[in-house]
Amino acid sequence: MIITELKDVHKRYHLGETQVKALCGVSLSIAEGDLIAVWGASGSGKSTLLNIIGLIDEPSSGTLKLNGHEVGEMPDNVKTDLRSRYMGFIFQNFNLMPILTALENVMLPLQVQGVSAAEAKEKALNCLQSVGMERFALHRPDKLSGGQRQRVAIARGLVTEPKLLICDEPTANLDFENAERVMDLMCELNQKRGITFLFSTHDTRLIDRVKRIVYLEDGTIVKDERA
């Protein structure tokens, strides 16, 4: 089943008088159960593409459909609701809240949805366990390594049980061992729980582990390859 579909998506940014074309006519379908790496050099448009698919940013033109419904026609509150129900987003720089513990960071998306503290805590602890971080539940992010922070960020992305987990450069700044662990975790969650993954990378160490690679060059898909 196709969960996300982009047709001829363009994204232009305006910087004063000049215009930057970040995406130039991208068409892409993401099926349930996919594990996709978006590959491209710095500035090729990876984050822009992920932000649009994650409903964090909007296309300048073209269409985006989610579960068959066109997103451009939805009111903002419907979009926000869809984003929190169906998608998890893991940012390039983790975006963990520094004053909250790992556990509180993971509980947060549920509490935003109005889930009770007790239920949020139970679910958050389960997610921390699934990423091997339960022992660090009460640590604040500054007491964790880069790989551990990334695993907490993945737990936070998972806690709402999204269909699609979008990760912008999930292994950037990680050493080989930690990058492998994050990749192992994504593969396991994809296989065992059927979570669809879309992540951007320029990390050659990960590229043979995915089901599909979408190559971006200057805002255009130049190759879409299945393993």
Ligand X SMILES: Nc1ncnc2c1ncn2[C@@H]1O[C@H](COP(=O)(O)OP(=O)(O)OP(=O)(O)O)[C@@H](O)[C@H]1O
> Helix or strand or coil: residue 75?
coil
Window contacting Mg ion (CB under 5 A); options: 21-29, 46-54, 108-116, 170-178? 46-54
Look at residue 45 and give the partner it binds from ligand X, Mg ion, none, a contact being a CB closer than 5 to 8 Å depending on partner kind.
ligand X
Question: Can residue 101 be called a binding residue for Mg ion (CB under 5 A)?
Answer: no
Q: Is 57 exposed, middle or buried (0-12, 13-18, 19+ CB in 10 A)?
A: middle
User: Judged by CB under 5 A, how many residues of this single chain contact Mg ion?
Assistant: 2
- DSSP label of 46: H
The C-alpha atoms of residue 153 and residue 194 are separated, in whole angstroms, by 19
Q: What mask of x and - would describe binding to Mg ion in positions 106 to 125, judged by CB under 5 A?
A: --------------------
Nearest approach, Cβ of residue 17 and ligand X (Å): 13
Q: Closest-CB residue for Mg ion?
A: 47
| Nearest alpha-carbon partner for 133 in 158, 114, 110 | 158
Strands of the sheet containing 18-31, edge to edge, are 18-31, 2-15, 61-66, 69-70
- The alpha carbon torsion through 26, 32, 35, 40 (nearest 10 deg) reads 10
Nearest approach, Cβ of residue 215 and ligand X (Å): 12
Window contacting Mg ion (CB under 5 A); options: 43-51, 95-103, 105-113, 115-123? 43-51
Where do we find the tokens 């513990």? 101
Our CB check for ligand X shows the closer of 77 and 204 to be: 204
Nearest approach, Cβ of residue 219 and ligand X (Å): 7
Question: Can residue 47 be called a binding residue for Mg ion (CB under 5 A)?
Answer: yes
Our CB check for Mg ion shows the closer of 46 and 149 to be: 46
